[in-house]
Amino acid sequence: TAARLAAAGIPVAEVHAIFPGDLVWGKAKPLHSAQEMAAYLQRPGSTPCFGKPIFGSMCRGVVVIEAATGDGRLLLGDGREVEALTLASELIAAYGKGYMFQELLRASDSIRAISGPVLPVLRVYSLWISGDAQVVYAALRLPSPGAMSDDDAQPGCVRLLMDLATGSILRGHDMAKEY
């Protein structure tokens, strides 16, 4: 998706590091082990960042890392502190086929009042038909309070369906509620 967006001239978050190290992703730093991943995340300038599985969906496995605390621990976007090596080991165990760390994008001041500090995401849903992506619908997803991403399963995550022609909001609903 990122490659298609970039080719169309749409800005995408820059990928800074990638695991496993034999995957190539532009200028991303290759990481070969949990120790290398932990060391990278503690290095000055590596945080804040957004981590996510390369082969994932539905926000499973994403993490916001705000800062390294200087004692081998990391401050996460939800306020928890974790051991860097423990986090790296868990990410590799769960997502060893591919995991990336990219720049952390923040909500603008104008939208932060309704979205909170986590970036709301415009999701464009498409189907691959006859060799091309055909847009089915688009939605702005607002993360639930205290979340690190716009995960549908968390109570309070809201999906605002958009008119494809105008960008106007048609309707919205809490994705964790059954209707």
What would the pLDDT profile of 1-34 be if each residue is shown by its tens digit? 666 777 777 778 899 999 998 888 889 999 999 9
- The pLDDT tens digits of the residues spanning 75-107 come to 998 889 999 999 999 999 999 999 999 999 888
User: Strand (E) positions, 87-157?
Assistant: 99-103, 121-129, 132-142
113 confidence band (pLDDT: 50, 70, 90): confident
**DSSP states of 47-86:** -SEEEEETT--TTTT-EEEEEE-SSSEEEETTS-EEEHHH
- Let me know the angle formed at the C-alpha of 53 by 47 and 55, rounded to the nearest 5 degrees: 155
Cis check: omega of the bond before 20, within 30 degrees of 0:
yes
In whole angstroms, give the CA distance from residue 29 to residue 44. Answer: 14
